[in-house]
Structure 1
C-alpha cells in the first residue's frame, strides 16, 4: 500500500522517480514543460528535479536543443534491474521462437502504477507485426494484459493496486467485475483471449498468459498479438493461445517457478 502521509514517505524522491518514468522509448528527448505535463508537477519543481538528476547522471541535457534524455547512470541502473530478472534469459529464446513460428508479436508486460508497461518485445523476422515498443504503457482498460493481470493477481495484490488512488477507478472496477469470467477462462484453457473490438479497445487480437517470478512481487503477463487480417480470433484461440501457454509452462519448469495457474480463492 502506498501511504503518501506516512512520515517515512520521501515525497521529493517520489517526484524525481516520476520524472524518470515520464520518458518513453519513442521520445527524442523531453523539455521541462513536457515533463511537467506528463507528471502533473509544477514546471518549477520539474526544473529543480531535472537539474539534480542531470548532475547525478540520470539525465543528460543536449546543448543542441536543451531537451533531456536518459543518462548513463539511468542506463546502468536499468541494466542491473533487467539482469536481476533471471527468467528473461530463458524467456528470450522461447518467446522469439514463438514469435517466428506464429507470426505474432510477443510482449512482456509488468504493472507500473495504474498502467501495464512493456519491458520486452519479440518480433517475427519476416512478418509485419503490430507496432508496440518497449516502454509503451497500456492503461487499465479492457486490453489483454490488464485483464489477465487482474485475473492472476491475489486479493492482497488487488488491494495494493486500489490503495494507490489511481485516477481511472471506474475502468478498473469494470475489469474487476469481469475478473471471475477471466479467471475461469485461464483455469479452463490456460490463457485469456481478447479479440479486437468488442469489449477491447485494441485493434488487434491477443492472447495472454500470467507468469510469476520469485524476483517480483506481482504476476507479469506474456501476450501474443496480431492484426485480425494476420491472425483470426479462431487461429489465436486454437493455435497461438495453447502455444503461448506451453511456452510459459516451459519457462516455469526451466526457472523452477510454481505454475502460474489460477488458484481457488476463499
Structure 2
C-alpha cells in the first residue's frame, strides 16, 4: 500500500471509502463515525463525508438521527455477486462438511483482503455446540496458518505485491517466511504456525492452498479448533493429511489437479 499511494493512478478517496466498508464486522450492531474513524485511522471529518456519500449510494444505511451506520442494500448486492463467483464453494461443500465431521474441527475458506486473511465460508461439525470462528473474522497473514499457507503458495511477483499491503515489520520478514513455508507445503502439503509465533494461543489450525479458476490468486482452506482439541501432534498425525486429501478431491472435481504452490 505504501508504494501504491505514491502512484498517480491511485484514487485515495475511493480507497478510503472501501476501507470504511471493510471496517464492518458480522458481530457489529452498527458503527458511528467515531468508531469507524478509530477502526480505519481515517480522520472523523473525512469519515463523515464518506459515510454520507456511501449512504447516498446505498452502500450504507442510517436510520434515526442518533442511529448508527450499517451495510446497505448495494453492499449486500455486491457481496452476493461476489459470492456467486466462488463457484468452487458449492463443489467443496459436501467434501468439507464430511471433513469437519470426521476431524471434529471447523473447516473454512480464507482469502487475502487488504493484508489480512478474511474467512468467507465455514463448515462446522454436525451437532457441535462450541463457539467457532465465523465468516467475517480476520486473521494476520504472517502469524496464522491460513496466512502462511496463502503466502507459501504465492509466486515471487505475487509475494512482492502482498508486501505492499503489510506493515513495514511484516514486509521485512515476508521473504524468509515465504521461503520456509513454500518448502513446508511441498514437503507436507499443508502449513501450520508454531505456537511461539501464532497470533492466538487459544486456537490451533492447519491450512493448505487452493487456486480456484474464478479468482487470480490462491485461497486457504483450513481446519481449526481450540488448542485443547487440536494439538500439534494431532495436526500432523491426522488432521493435516485429511485436509490435504479433501482438497485433492476438490481439485479433481474442479479440474485443478496441479499444485497450488507457484513454481517461482
When normalised by structure 1's length, the TM-score is 0.91
Following superposition, the deviation at residue 175 of structure 1 comes to: 4.6
- Tell me, in whole angstroms, the C-alpha distance in 2 between the residues paired with 1:263 and 1:114: 19
2:191 is aligned to 192
1:116-265 alignment to 2 at 5 Å? Answer: 116-129=117-130, 131-164=132-165, 166=166, 168-194=167-193, 197-202=195-200, 203-265=202-264
For structure 1, the 5+ residue unaligned runs are none
Q: For the structure 1 residues 208 and 94, does the alpha-carbon distance in structure 2 shift closer, same or farther, using more than 3 Å as the test?
A: same
Contact 1:190 1:261 in 2 (8 A): no
The aligned length equals: 262
Q: For the structure 1 residues 3 and 64, does the alpha-carbon distance in structure 2 shift closer, same or farther, using more than 3 Å as the test?
A: closer
1:142-162: CA deviation from partner (whole Å, max 9, x where unpaired) = 211111111111100011112
1:120-173: CA deviation from partner (whole Å, max 9, x where unpaired) = 111112234463121111123321111111111110001111234x3x232343
Contact 2:218 2:260 in 1 (8 A): no
Q: For the structure 1 residues 5 and 176, does the alpha-carbon distance in structure 2 shift closer, same or farther, using more than 3 Å as the test?
A: closer
SS in 1 for 2:5: coil
SS in 1 for 2:224: strand
2:24 is aligned to 23
2:38 is aligned to 37
Which stretch shows the higher mean deviation, 155-164 or 80-89? 155-164
- Tell me, in whole angstroms, the C-alpha distance in 2 between the residues paired with 1:106 and 1:81: 21
1:80 is aligned to 81
- Tell me, in whole angstroms, the C-alpha distance in 2 between the residues paired with 1:72 and 1:5: 33
- Tell me, in whole angstroms, the C-alpha distance in 1 between the residues paired with 2:4 and 2:177: 28
- Tell me, in whole angstroms, the C-alpha distance in 1 between the residues paired with 2:170 and 2:8: 31
Contact 2:110 2:120 in 1 (8 A): yes
Are 1:58 and 2:56 counterparts? Answer: no
1:82-121 alignment to 2 at 5 Å? Answer: 82-121=83-122
Contact 2:248 2:257 in 1 (8 A): no
Contact 2:24 2:31 in 1 (8 A): yes
Contact 1:130 1:227 in 2 (8 A): no
Contact 2:149 2:181 in 1 (8 A): yes
Following superposition, the deviation at residue 62 of structure 1 comes to: 2.6
1:67 is aligned to 68
Following superposition, the deviation at residue 204 of structure 1 comes to: 2.2
Contact 1:142 1:175 in 2 (8 A): no
Q: CA RMSD in A?
A: 2.0
Q: For the structure 1 residues 22 and 191, does the alpha-carbon distance in structure 2 shift closer, same or farther, using more than 3 Å as the test?
A: same
- Tell me, in whole angstroms, the C-alpha distance in 2 between the residues paired with 1:33 and 1:258: 48
